[in-house]
Amino acid sequence: MEPSPPNPGTHTLRRWRDAWPPLAYKVASAALAVYTITLMVAGWRVAARDTDPVTPPLKGLTWRAAESDKINTLDKGARVRVSSFHAHGRHHPVYLVDGRRRPATTTAKWVSAPEDRAPWVEVRLAAPRQIKRVELAHAGLREHGSYTMRRYTLTCLNTSSQVVATMAVEANTAPVARHQIDCPETITVRLEFDVEPLNTARGVVRLYEIALYDTDATRPPRRRP
Amino acid sequence: MSDEPRQAPQEAAAVTRAAKVLTALVAVGLLARVIGWALQGGFHYPDEIFQQLEPAHYLRTGVAWLPWEYQRGLRCWAPPAFYAALMEAFSWVGVQGHAALRAVNLHNALWTAAMIPAAYRAGRALGHGAGGDEDGQRAGLWTAALVALWPTLLYFSPHALQGTPSMVCLTLGYASWLELRRADSEEALACGFWMGFWFGMAGMLRFTSGLHMLVPLAELLLARRWRGLAGLTLGSLPGIAILGIADAVTWGKPFHSAIEHFTYNYIEGKASDHGVSPWHFYLIDAFGLRAGPLAPVALLLLGLGLRRGWPAALTAAVPMVLLSTVAHKEERFLMHNWPLWLMTMGVGLAALQSWWASRSNITAQRRLALMGALVAALLASNAYGSADLQWRWRAGLFQAQAFVGAQPDATGLLFDDRQHLNGGHLALNRTIPQLTYSPARARDPLFNFAALKAEDRAITSLERAGWRRVATFEGFVVLKRAPKQADGAPQPSRP
């Protein structure tokens, strides 16, 4: 082995700094500082934000929901906002207002995220309406009855976000829960659920549909021609 | 000492000249990366979407489809958190959805240019002391040139694969390691610190990059570079802390993702569930075929560079051999090897140049031009070998998703193939469901758009059912459901 001259490494790098114009270092350092600060501010904003997924406003929609007496379907301009949704299972909140109570698959339901221990959902109407009846299609409609949520609170809000009516449900077992409630001039219906410990049947919310009606009589479903 | 005043101006001029060449190489490398980014679309592998960018989109918006790795906890949330911050910053200037995905890839591509000066430092430290290139400038510059323009590296640059930023960190770490090997005791601590810092970051980003650290760590231990090791230990703490804290906060246990990754792949042996390849895959496919028709010349240069560049070559060879014993193989797992092979080849080029200078009487300029032609031929050969990599895999579907996401009446999308073979909710950028196409789902009126391969027979049956083509993107057709009522009866035409 031939003897090596002394270390070229960092000594030379230091000399390199002198070889480049000082302005280049200042510009590069400033750019790096701006990059770092921007990322820190952006990261803080992401961390501080409540990410409550909301379905988009729709324009020019051509399809119509099958049961036209519901006042909160997508085609009538309803939107859904949820505290979370189960990102592993593709259980999107929009299924709550697609007008289908018994979809073809069990995928087509809203499921809250496992880490969400206070799940809620809000249905916002296109315009204030009188609501007399709320029907919830729980998991028990298509799956095991133990998945049906037992305890939840139903609240109607007006355009000023004031509560116009509220109802606490303590021991529901019906797969399709029908709640008579008098909600005048309501723009938003909010449901807050009491989930049970994770890895139990009601550790997350499973809900197929939220149907709002402006009549208090339960009509028989329309038959296909 | 008496020579110093006379030599200093010459040395300073050489350094200035090398600095200018390296600056030019960085500029050319940046341009090449932008071109490489522009030529690419879609993905190299679904993991870069669903294990990096889709979780980042989830952190920002709460909307995503997350794969099983994020249920079991095989992945650390720190890299998606970084990408979430990056995408948030992009959103301030209106860059969202598919455009944000492309912007992140460009961002990563540009950062890989940091490997060019790192390659110079590494090549210089390796080539230092060679006859005719005493200060290692030639070896450094040849290495930098190869890293700036090597097509396989340009291919892997514009990606959000875990391996891409990990490769950048490793290369920066190698530069510090190779400088540490020649550092005096005063500098050893600083070199070791930066080596540890970049290795720590690389390990946090991709756990298996630890295999690429075995030789450097062993060399430090065997050579008893205690100050360097002390610096390395200190420097590695930030990367280790990020992993430990992020896992403790998100998975409830420090280093949970690393433990689960190890358990899944090596104790349960489930990596093989994702496909197996022959033992020689990394040697033949990932190196030989990729180097192209001039692979023998590349091997010859590797051989020429071995005398001085063996630490880099050995650092690449060890993970190559170890990973060849694992049945499941993917080329991206060894993208980290290319900077190391190129360091060895750069030293080989410098050795060839010096040998040639001592045995021929052609001018230095002419010799340099011929060396440049040799490098250009190697790059062309590698470009030919890299042509069969997937440069635009399912790019049309990504564009189709972005198109559907921008439609004001879109309520659901059915797409070609499985859930993980597209741009995710990030590319769609609209809070509506998107699922794999099936005839049953096509009957659900909620799904009023479909994006299918142009040759898919389902297109004919959809068109027969009243769907119509509204756009085409690189082999993918977007269809829209015709106005109908939910019960299937055609909707009356409006006056």
Residue A207 has pLDDT above 60, yes or no: yes
Question: Chains A and B: how many Cβ contacts under 8 Å?
Answer: 180
Give the pLDDT mean for A18-28.
74
- The pLDDT of residue B270: 80
Give the highest mean pLDDT range of A55-59, B124-128, B241-245: B241-245
- The pLDDT of residue B121: 92
A20, A40, A65: residue with CB nearest B486: A65
- The pLDDT of residue A21: 67
pTM attached to this predicted model? 0.92
What is the distance between the alpha carbons of residues B125 and B121, in angstroms, rounded to a whole number? Answer: 6
Which residue of A62, A109, A111 to mutate against B (max B Cβ within 10 Å)?
A: A62
Pairing of strands B434-436, B413-415: parallel
B65, B187, B445: residue with CB nearest A87: B65
- The pLDDT of residue B205: 96
- The pLDDT of residue A64: 76
Confidence category of residue A95, pLDDT binned at 50, 70, 90 = very high
- The pLDDT of residue B103: 98
- The pLDDT of residue B441: 92
- The pLDDT of residue A222: 54
B19, B67, B128: residue with CB nearest A20: B19
Kindly report, residue by residue over B31-54, the tens digit of the pLDDT.
999 999 999 999 999 999 999 999
- The pLDDT of residue B486: 46
The residues in A 56-85 lying below 8 A from B, measured between CB atoms, are 56-66, 74, 84-85
Whole-number percent of chain B with pLDDT over 90: 83
Which residue of A1, A2, A11, A12 to mutate against B (max B Cβ within 10 Å)?
A: A12
Kindly determine whether residue A63 and residue B484, on different chains, have CB atoms separated by under 8 Å. Answer: yes
B88, B124, B191: residue with CB nearest A42: B88
What is the distance between the alpha carbons of residues A71 and A78, in angstroms, rounded to a whole number? Answer: 8
Mean pLDDT (chain A) is 88
Mean pLDDT (chain B) is 92
What is the distance between the alpha carbons of residues B407 and B400, in angstroms, rounded to a whole number? Answer: 11
Q: Dump the DSSP string for B47-69.
A: HHIIIIIHHHHHHHHS-----TH
Asked if the C-beta of A40 comes within 8 angstroms of chain B's C-beta atoms, the answer is yes
Which residues on A lie below 8 Å from B104 (Cβ)?
A: none
- Do the Cβ atoms of A87 and A147 come closer than 8 Å? no
Kindly report, residue by residue over B320-354, the tens digit of the pLDDT.
999 999 888 999 999 999 999 999 999 999 999 99
Q: Which residue of A has its CA nearest to B405?
A: A56
Q: Which residue of A has its CA nearest to B429?
A: A56
Give the highest mean pLDDT range of B301-305, B363-367, B488-492: B301-305
Kindly determine whether residue B129 and residue A94, on different chains, have CB atoms separated by under 8 Å. Answer: no
Which residues on A lie below 8 Å from B431 (Cβ)?
A: 53-56, 92-94
Kindly determine whether residue A88 and residue B70, on different chains, have CB atoms separated by under 8 Å. Answer: yes
Kindly determine whether residue A8 and residue B12, on different chains, have CB atoms separated by under 8 Å. Answer: no
Out of A110-114, B2-6, B410-414, which region has the weakest mean confidence (pLDDT)? B2-6
- The pLDDT of residue A1: 42
Whole-number percent of chain A with pLDDT over 70: 86
Q: For residue B363, what are its two tokens? A: 């001018």
Asked if the C-beta of A199 comes within 8 angstroms of chain B's C-beta atoms, the answer is no
B70, B124, B409: residue with CB nearest A60: B409
Out of A7-16, A56-65, A121-130, B407-416, which region has the weakest mean confidence (pLDDT)? A7-16
CA neighbor of B202 nearest in space, from B213, B191, B193: B213
- The pLDDT of residue B265: 87
- The pLDDT of residue B184: 82
Give the pLDDT mean for B267-288.
88
Residues 6+ apart with CB under 8 A from B366: none
Which residues on A lie below 8 Å from B180 (Cβ)?
A: 9
Residue B214 has pLDDT above 90, yes or no: yes
Confidence category of residue B494, pLDDT binned at 50, 70, 90 = very low
Residue B487 has pLDDT above 50, yes or no: no
- Kindly give the residue spans of alpha helices, DSSP state H, lying in B206-289: 214-222, 226-251, 256-262
Taking the CA atoms of B468, B470, B476 and B481 in sequence, report the sign of the dihedral they define: negative
Give the pLDDT mean for B73-77.
96
Give the pLDDT mean for B128-133.
83
Residue indicated by tokens 């198109």: B403
Give the pLDDT mean for B394-398.
97
Give the pLDDT mean for B464-489.
84
Q: Which residues pair with B452 in a beta bridge?
A: B477
Kindly determine whether residue A4 and residue B182, on different chains, have CB atoms separated by under 8 Å. Answer: yes
Give the pLDDT mean for B150-173.
97
Kindly determine whether residue B124 and residue A8, on different chains, have CB atoms separated by under 8 Å. Answer: yes
Confidence category of residue B423, pLDDT binned at 50, 70, 90 = very high
Residue B362 has pLDDT above 90, yes or no: no
Which residues on A lie below 8 Å from B482 (Cβ)?
A: 62
- The pLDDT of residue B488: 45
Kindly determine whether residue A56 and residue B432, on different chains, have CB atoms separated by under 8 Å. Answer: yes
Q: How far does the CA of residue A135 sit from the closest CA of chain B (Å)?
A: 20
User: A148 burial class (0-12, 13-18, 19+ CB within 10 angstroms)?
Assistant: buried
Asked if the C-beta of A35 comes within 8 angstroms of chain B's C-beta atoms, the answer is no
The residues in A 89-128 lying below 8 A from B, measured between CB atoms, are 90, 92-95, 98-100, 103-105, 107-108
Q: How far does the CA of residue B79 sit from the closest CA of chain A (Å)?
A: 12
Residue B489 has pLDDT above 70, yes or no: no
Residue B11 has pLDDT above 80, yes or no: no
Kindly report, residue by residue over A185-206, the tens digit of the pLDDT.
999 999 999 999 998 999 999 9
A68 or A177, higher pLDDT: A177
